[in-house]
Amino acid sequence: MPAPPPGEPGQGSPATRRRGEGLLRAIYTATIDQLAACGYSGLTMEGVAASAGTGKASLYRRWASKDDLIIEAVNHVLLGAADLPDTGSVRDDLLDLLRRTTEVVASPTGCAFYALMRGNPSERDFAMLAKKRLMQPRHALVLELLQRGVERGEVRPEAVTPLIGHVGIAMVSHLIMLNDGQVTPDDLVLIVDDILMPIVRVRDDQPSKSSTTRSLSG
Amino acid sequence: MPAPPPGEPGQGSPATRRRGEGLLRAIYTATIDQLAACGYSGLTMEGVAASAGTGKASLYRRWASKDDLIIEAVNHVLLGAADLPDTGSVRDDLLDLLRRTTEVVASPTGCAFYALMRGNPSERDFAMLAKKRLMQPRHALVLELLQRGVERGEVRPEAVTPLIGHVGIAMVSHLIMLNDGQVTPDDLVLIVDDILMPIVRVRDDQPSKSSTTRSLSG
DNA sequence: CACATTAGATACGATTGAGTTCACTACGGC
DNA sequence: GCCGTAGTGAACTCAATCGTATCTAATGTG
């Protein structure tokens, strides 16, 4: 139950109802929590209303359906900032970015977004929205970070690919799934040092063409 | 609706009901399909019965609850074979294994298992069971394959880690999620050649200690 | 063929949730 | 303080589902 906002100064009577923005925020949060807890199929208007500490009538006054509510909640819920780190080294940038990405992915909001992205084809619109808000900005940051590494001579130009841009977050979400929502700081260091850096960094044996990669493993 | 089995020879009257094993198989399949379609929360006994073309009474005759049914279905549903490929090169072994893993992960059964693994803490027992049947055998195969590559001099010994063993399947499941269930053969080749091989293969600049990895990226 | 068992269809009472309505009252602005 | 609006709680009808029970008939075995 959210704490009621303080009453007017000098009036001594605290307000007992939320109104407007405060209630909206509680409803969005409740929607995300329900999505994280039981996915799209399991989310009910009753559950959202109960979790938000309000009544169904307040939901239906604003949204005609569960779908409308979800779309708006996904659009408006707060996500962590998506900024490009600048530590001076690609390794440390990747680590910093991966930490921040992990915080978001491991949060209830992250869980809710993943639930939408993994839904079945009838839930495609939600999936696209979740990808647009959660995945695309962070993916773009990784590629930008790698490109900057290329310009610094730290990263192979051939490593700046959409696929390689997904490795970090793929590993994090996989570990979260396998380890009951837990990823340790050590895990992140290992992902960067043992997986990402071997892939992206300029090598001493670096030829300029990726076709040589195949003949080496031939 | 499953095709009815042929009638007795010479009798001309096809059977209209399944019995025993045939019905069990249909129920397991229906359970997995429902899990894949609407997750644990959304799965109903009515839905499973309808999908299996049977009645609820046949379900309740065998299982006291939805949970009991799910546990048994997860235990008994067929998964693709988990065999160690032997193509003569680590690269081709990884590709072969990744193809087979992808077939399973992208199937309705794979979807159902992932739905269970990503459920909330109250569904932990299901998650553990799904990990045990789907993830562990395939993870073990990757490590075994990498270890064999070490013995052949193709793979760095430091690359045979639990974390690196997860990279392939993490990437595949991530792409499936992002691309509406689709992963192309080209994607798999890129995962092997651009991600897995750079991580695992013996390098021309190969020192024997992994601590040098960090100072190179420092 | 006779018989025991199982499958399938249906109905039932209870519960949950969707969507709606209503009465009361809290709240903010004037 | 007055008034219009929004929030709250409860009740309502309808649909879906749960778990149970019953009946008919399909099926396999001796």
Query: Which pLDDT belongs to residue B13?
Result: 56
Helix (H, G, I), strand (E, B) or coil at A201: strand
Question: Which residues does nucleic strand C approach, with CB less than 7 A?
Answer: A 4, 8, 13, 15-17, 19, 44-47, 56-57, 60, 64-66; B 17-20, 23, 53-58, 61
Sign of the CA dihedral with B63 first, then B66, B69, and B72 last: negative
**Whether domain A90-203 has CATH 1.10.357:** yes
pLDDT at A142: 98
Mean pLDDT, chain B, integer = 88
Q: How many CB atoms lie within 10 A of CB A189?
A: 15
Q: How many CA atoms lie within 13 A of A74 on its CB side?
A: 27
Structural tokens at position A71? 């779309």
Cβ neighbours for B119, distance < 8 A, ≥ 6 positions apart: B39, B40, B126, B127
In this complex, the residue of A124, A164, A218 whose CB is nearest that of residue B195 is A164
Q: Lowest-pLDDT range, A199-213, B52-66, B71-85?
A: A199-213
Asked whether the predicted pLDDT for residue A101 surpasses 90, the reply is yes
Give pLDDT tens digits for B186-218. Answer: 999 999 999 999 999 998 665 544 444 443 333
Contacts of B41 in chain A (CB under 8 A): 38-39, 41-42
Chain centroid offset of residue A139 CA: 11
Q: Give the pLDDT of residue A203.
A: 81
pLDDT at A211 exceeding the cut of 60: no
Determine the angle formed by the axes of helices A136-151 and A90-105, rounding to 10 degrees: 170
Q: Which residue on chain A is closest to B167 by alpha carbon?
A: A171
Contact residues for B120 (Cβ-Cβ < 8 A; gap 6+): A36, A37, A38
Query: How far: A53 CA to D10 C1' (Å)?
Result: 15
Of A174, A205, A218, the CB nearest to B89: A218
> What does the pLDDT read at residue A5?
38
Among A75-79, A95-99, A106-110, B195-199, the minimum mean pLDDT is found in: A75-79
B217 touches A90 (CB < 8 A): yes
Strand D positions closer than 7 A to protein CB: 6-11, 16-23, 26-28
The stretch B26-55 carries a mean pLDDT of 95
Report the residue from B90, B131, B180 with minimal CB separation from A178. B131
User: Can you tell me the distance from the alpha carbon of B99 to that of B110, in angstroms, rounded to the nearest whole number?
Assistant: 14
* Average confidence score pLDDT of chain A: 88
Q: Which amino acid is residue A57, in one-letter code? A: A
For residue B43, is it left (φ>0), alpha (ψ between -120 and 50) or beta? beta
Dist CA A34 CA B148 (whole Å): 46
What pLDDT score was predicted for residue B181?
Answer: 82
User: Among 3.40.1260.10, 1.10.510.10, 1.20.1340.10, 1.10.10.60, what is the CATH number of A21-76?
Assistant: 1.10.10.60
Percent residues over pLDDT 90 in chain B: 76
Looking at the complex, does the CB of residue B180 fall below 8 Å from at least one CB of chain A? yes
Contact B213 A198 (CB under 8 A): yes
Tokens read off for A125: 């619109």
Of residues B146 and A11, more confidently modeled: B146
Over 50: is that where the pLDDT of A209 sits? no
Burial class (CB in 10 A: 0-12, 13-18, 19+), A202: middle
Could you tell me the distance in Å between the CA of residue A17 and the C1' of nucleotide C24? 14
Note the strand C nucleotides within 7 A of protein beta carbons.
6-11, 16-23, 26-28
Q: Which of A16-20, A124-128, B41-45, B114-118 has the lowest mean pLDDT?
A: A16-20
ipTM: 0.87
Query: Is B33 within 8 Å of B50 (Cβ atoms)?
Result: no
The Cα angle at residue B108 between residues A118 and B81, in degrees rounded to 5: 120
pLDDT tens profile B105-124 = 999 999 999 999 998 878 88
A156 at the B interface (CB within 8 A)? no
pLDDT band at A13 (very low <50, low <70, confident <90, very high): low
**Per-residue confidence at A1, pLDDT binned at 50, 70, 90?**
very low
User: Measured between CB atoms, does B161 come within 8 Å of chain A?
Assistant: yes
The C-alpha torsion from A56 through A59 and A61 to A64, rounded to 10°, is: -110
Segment A61-72 mean pLDDT: 95
Q: How far apart are CA B59 and CA B64, in angstroms?
A: 8
B75-104 burial, b at 16+ Cβ within 10 Å, e below that, comes to: eebeebebeebeeeebbebbbbbbbbbbeb
Domain assignments of chain A as residue spans, ordered by start:
21-76, 90-203
The tokens for A126 are 């939600």
pLDDT of B175: 97
User: Chains A and B: how many Cβ contacts under 8 Å?
Assistant: 143
Residues 6 or more apart in contact with residue A178 via CB below 8 angstroms: B117, B131, B135, B166
- Write out residues 23-42 of A within 8 Å (CB-CB) of B: 36-39, 41-42
**How close B88 comes to chain A (CA, Å)?**
10
When mean pLDDT is compared across A128-132, A162-166, B7-11, B198-202, the lowest value belongs to B7-11
DSSP string, chain B: -PPPPP--TTT--------THHHHHHHHHHHHHHHHHHHHHH--HHHHHHHHTS-HHHHHHH-SSHHHHHHHHHHHS----------SSHHHHHHHHHHHHHHHHTSHHHHHHHHHHTS-GGGHHHHHHHIIIIIHHHHHHHHHHHHHHHHTTSB-GGG--HHHHTHHHHHHHHHHHHTTT---HHHHHHIIIIIIHHHHB--TT--S-THHHHHHH-
